[in-house]
Structures are given as structure tokens and as C-alpha cells.
Structure 1
Amino acid sequence: MWSHLSACANSFTPPLHRRVAISDYATKLVARAERFEAWEGATLIGLVAVYCNDPARVAAFVTSVSVVPERTRMGLGRRLLAAAITHGRGLGFARMALSADRGAAALNLYREFGFTEDARDGATLHLSLALMLPCSDASERARLP
């Protein structure tokens, strides 16, 4: 997990290592997050991590979406995010939430799935997706092989 997050650190806006201690964050994700992973051999190449620990099932929180730089733009993040959304729906969460920088490359992906802006805090956008609604077209396409 640490090596994957380190390899993807500069893909985050701002870079991940400027926001968190990567080793501590990796440990927290392994212990507390539901993880949707893509592997190539023994190498983790894609990750979506979601905290599904709200006992009232109001919101699941996407804490990390990352794909190693050499594998971006291949639909990997889309498939992993679709799996996370399906999982959140299956657990009965009302919505899925995430926070992203206004300049994040993944904003278009989030909007394709139907995430909308709830609030803004400086450069940070707080987005959410209602999970009790039918799947969006992007979510359905992402499930296709």
C-alpha cells in the first residue's frame, strides 16, 4: 500500500506527501477502509478506498482514488469507483461523499458518475452522490468488461 501511494503521490492535487504522512495514511487505509484494488502481478496499480464506518449509513466517504501514472486513462479508476459505489449502495448508504481540490484531474470522473458539489472550502470541493437513485450511465458503463 505504501509503495502504491508513494508512486501516485504526485498525481494528487496537492501532492499526497504534502498533506499526509504516507506511511501513516497507508496503515490507516489498511485498518479502516473498504478497498477496491487492481493488481498487476504483485504490484498494486489502482486503488479506491472508502470509509464505510457511519453507523447510521448516511454517508460513505471516498478517501483515496489513485492509479499508478503509467496506467491512467485506461478506465481502471472508473471501474474501481463503480465497484465502490455499488458496494456503498449494497450496504444501504444514502450517499457517497468525497473531497477534492478544484484542480484535481479526477473531477471529470466524479462528475460523470453524478457527484455534485455540496460545499467549497478554499480550493477544496466537497462532493456527494445520492446512492438511493438508479445508477448513472457512467456507473453502468464502468461495469462492462
Structure 2
Amino acid sequence: MNPKLMFKQNVSNENDVAVHFELCEKSFTNDISLRTSLTGYIEKIVSKSFRFEAWDNRKLIGLIAVYINFDSFCGYITNVSVIKECNGLGVAKSLLKECCNQLIQQGITELSLEVKTTNTKAIGLYTKFGFVKENEANTYLRMILNLKSNKYDK
């Protein structure tokens, strides 16, 4: 698939996100389901996060969801996902660039996330952007990006 990407923010609804998750790798949604209710997670993403979205026509193919704390100027990425057929096309990288640029404009100085220690592809992308490993707990790695340094992969 060679999608014509349109990047948008906060356009998706609960159904869009649910369909998107269904089109992602099964292991992705299984991991979420082990930690929380998938339906509840989707509701929370749509109602409480700032969403960076990649669309191909009316199909949500990539999503980054960020919770922002404007008091501490910190953001937490709760979701980075790309549908299975678009993996390896640079969608996550493009979304992450857009996310960082927008957060800097909003005065956010630090961005963190957690990633499975076995997800070496994602860890490589985050490391390239300048995320540093903070700590490892069980099967998850916490990584932090200092947005003030502007050293992320623009």
C-alpha cells in the first residue's frame, strides 16, 4: 500500500479509533487488553488526549495519542500505532515529528512514553528521535525526550 497521507489533529472519533486498532497487529490490541479495557482505553483517548492522526482518505492509518499536563509542561505518549499494512512506510516517524513540533509550540518541554522491551523497532525509532532510557520495569521501558534541546529528529 502506498497511501496518500493527510495529517490531522483530534479528528477521529471512538469508532475511527476502534476500527484503526482492529487493523493494527493483533499483538498490539492484545497487549492493551491485558492492561485495561480496550473500549475504556478508546473512550479515554478520544475524550482526554491530544491526537496526531494520519489518514488515507477516510481511513485512520496512524495515531499518536498524548496526554498533556500544562502545569508541568510535560506530555505522555499513551499510544503510537500504525495499521499493519502500512508498517515500515514512515508513518510513525512522520507522526512523531508532527507531535514534537506541535508540543514545542504549546510550550511542552518534556515528552515520555513506555514501550515493551521486546519492541526493538519502536525503541530504535524513539532513540533516533532523542528519547533516552529512564528505567526498565518488568517488560516495559520508560523513555523521555527533552523537547527544549530541540535535538529530536526533525
The one-letter amino acid of 1:132's match is K
Q: Which runs of 4+ in 1 moved over 6 A?
A: none
Shift of 1:123: 1.4
Please point out which of 97, 103, 114 is paired with 1:82. Answer: 97
Give the TM-score, by structure 2 length.
0.82
The one-letter amino acid of 1:10's match is K
Q: d(CA) in 1 for partners of 2:135 and 2:98?
A: 25
Which residue of structure 2 aligns with residue 61 of structure 1?
76
User: For residues 71-115 of structure 1, what are the alpha-carbon distances to aligned partners after superposition, in whole Å with 9 as ceiling and x for unaligned?
Assistant: 010010000011111112111122100011101131111011010
Q: Secondary structure at the match of 1:88?
A: helix
Q: d(CA) in 2 for partners of 1:11 and 1:91?
A: 33
- 5+ residue gaps, structure 2: 1-16
Give the TM-score, by structure 1 length.
0.87
The one-letter amino acid of 1:19's match is R
- 5+ residue gaps, structure 1: 141-145
Q: d(CA) in 1 for partners of 2:23 and 2:35?
A: 15
User: For residues 42-74 of structure 1, what are the alpha-carbon distances to aligned partners after superposition, in whole Å with 9 as ceiling and x for unaligned?
Assistant: 2110001111134221x2000000000000100
The one-letter amino acid of 1:74's match is L
The answer as to 2:66 corresponding to 1:46 is: no
Q: d(CA) in 2 for partners of 1:3 and 1:17?
A: 15
User: For residues 107-129 of structure 1, what are the alpha-carbon distances to aligned partners after superposition, in whole Å with 9 as ceiling and x for unaligned?
Assistant: 11101101011111111111000
The one-letter amino acid of 2:36's match is V
The sequence identity of aligned pairs, in percent, is 30
The one-letter amino acid of 2:62's match is G
Q: Report if the CA contact (8 A) 1:95-1:129 is conserved.
A: yes
Which residue of structure 2 aligns with residue 143 of structure 1?
none
Aligned length: 137
Please, what is the CA RMSD of the aligned residues? Answer: 1.7
